[in-house]
Amino acid sequence: MVQEISDDLPEGKEENAEETPIIDLASDTFFMGQAMRQAQKAYLAEEVPVGAVIVRDGSILARSHNQVETLRDATAHAEMLALTQAEEALGDWRLTDCDLYVTKEPCPMCAGAIVHCRIRRVIFGCADEKGGAAGGFINLLQQPTLNHFSEVTQGVLEEDSKTLLKTFFLEAREKKKRGGE
């Protein structure tokens, strides 16, 4: 977003004009914004728009987006690709100090992988009541019987993620309809 700075603001607006937008580079919103950029990439590639980033000590180790169609691989979810990238970056499968940001609640496959990699925190955008495995229909990230627990934060940039997904599925349906005519 571009903020315009104008010299001739009407009376009473000076205060707002002086407010510079504060972007906390370590905030959940910032990193989810980065994950949203990945989701946009997926959207442009006609993939279900989900994006993920993995963060350690305030820096991004991995960025990825859903590539199921591109790679013709049902396991190529954004989270799976991000986990592999982060493991490669660290030279270790243990991602103990890492936090994963993903625009949509992880599915059971990804939640399983997240637990295996011992991700510290999972932050997601919109929930998936039907297929989500971070509390949506099941919570694999916080199973007492498993040997690893991830902290979960949900609802970060929820509306942005939801809107993008809705747009994608609406357009996909319309395309299908047109193709069938």
The DSSP symbol for 139 reads B
Give per-residue burial for 157-168: e unless 16+ CB within 10 Å, then b: bbebbeebbeeb
Closest contact distance (angstroms) between CB of 122 and Zn ion is 12
Closest contact distance (angstroms) between CB of 154 and Zn ion is 15
Query: In this complex, which beta carbon is closest to Zn ion, that of residue 30 or of residue 118?
Result: 118
Sorted by sequence, the CB contacts under 8 Å of residue 119 that are 6+ apart come out as 54, 83, 95, 98, 99, 100, 150
Query: In this complex, which beta carbon is closest to Zn ion, that of residue 41 or of residue 77?
Result: 77
Query: In this complex, which beta carbon is closest to Zn ion, that of residue 73 or of residue 97?
Result: 73
Residue (of 22, 25, 52) closest to 36 by Cα position: 52
| Active-site pick, 47, 79, 87, 105 | 79
Closest contact distance (angstroms) between CB of 11 and Zn ion is 53
Closest contact distance (angstroms) between CB of 58 and Zn ion is 26
Assigned token pair, 106? 């992880």
Whether 79 sits among the annotated catalytic residues: the reply is yes
List residues near Zn ion by CB under 5 A.
77, 107, 109-110
Query: In this complex, which beta carbon is closest to Zn ion, that of residue 55 or of residue 133?
Result: 133
Say if residues 161 and 39 touch (Cβ distance below 8 Å): yes
Say if residues 124 and 156 touch (Cβ distance below 8 Å): yes
Q: Please give the positions annotated as active site.
A: 79
